[in-house]
Amino acid sequence: MHKTMDPSTLVSTFNALPRNRLSPSGSVPNHWHISLRHVPLSPPGHLLYIINPQARFVHVEGPLHSDYNTASTELKASMWAMLLLKAFIEGLGSGSAGSVGRPWSWVSNDAEMAGAVGETLRRMGVTAPEGMGVAGEEENAIADEEWERFFGLLKGQVRGGGQQ
């Protein structure tokens, strides 16, 4: 997919993806936890962190624009929405566009962003999932644990020049 796909094309492409209760493996719910994570490497920045808590499958999008911290909640929600649509359209890095399909549900550890992103997606015309929920303690704990693992690997690659 071309990175500069316009919002209406992103939405129509996303809405056309299949949507199933279970992930493509058929063994875990097609449920995703979304959060923003700070990366204190050089240059520092933020990534949109996407994880299926039960599968512990991790994907990141970004980095987000350097003015993210000073952006309004509406603009932040728009950034999240565009990156989420792109991520799922591209199959979450699986190498097979659309292979994951649309999520059955998604939640965030940030209640304000969950509401804002859900509203942004509705305004954009995303038909499902409807809105974004707020994650529970267990999902947040899994997301945090897997982020630590993922970030440790990322730090190792940066320090090792990307070679392992």
101: nearest Cα among 17, 15, 2, 9: 17
Rounded CA separation 10/125 (Å) = 10
pLDDT over 70, % of the chain: 93
Q: Give the residues across from 49 on adjacent strands.
A: 35, 60
Burial class (CB within 10 angstroms; exposed 0-12, middle 13-18, buried 19+) of 37: middle
Average pLDDT over residues 32-50: 93
Q: Is 97 among the domain residues?
A: yes
Q: Is 41 among the domain residues?
A: yes
Taken as a whole, the chain contains a residue count of 164
Q: Is 2 among the domain residues?
A: no
Rounded CA separation 130/42 (Å) = 37
Q: Is 1 among the domain residues?
A: no
The answer to whether residue 162 scores a pLDDT higher than 90 is: no
Rounded CA separation 114/91 (Å) = 22
Q: Are strands 105-108 and 57-61 parallel, antiparallel or unpaired?
A: unpaired
Tokens 């890095």 found at: 93
Q: Is 48 among the domain residues?
A: yes
Q: Provide the domain count of the chain.
A: 1
Q: What is the pLDDT of residues 90-146, one digit of tens each?
A: 989 877 766 889 999 999 999 999 999 999 999 999 999 989 999 999 999 999 999
The answer to whether residue 34 scores a pLDDT higher than 80 is: yes
For residue 108, the model assigns a pLDDT of 98
Q: Is 101 among the domain residues?
A: yes
Q: Is 164 among the domain residues?
A: no
Q: Indicate the range of 4-8, 39-43, 68-72, 160-164 predicted with least confidence.
A: 160-164
Output the pTM of the full model.
0.90
The answer to whether residue 28 scores a pLDDT higher than 80 is: yes
Rounded CA separation 143/51 (Å) = 7
Residue 43: is the preceding peptide bond cis (ω within 30°)? yes
Domain span at 117: 7-159
The CATH number of residue 81's host domain is: 3.30.420
Q: Is 139 among the domain residues?
A: yes
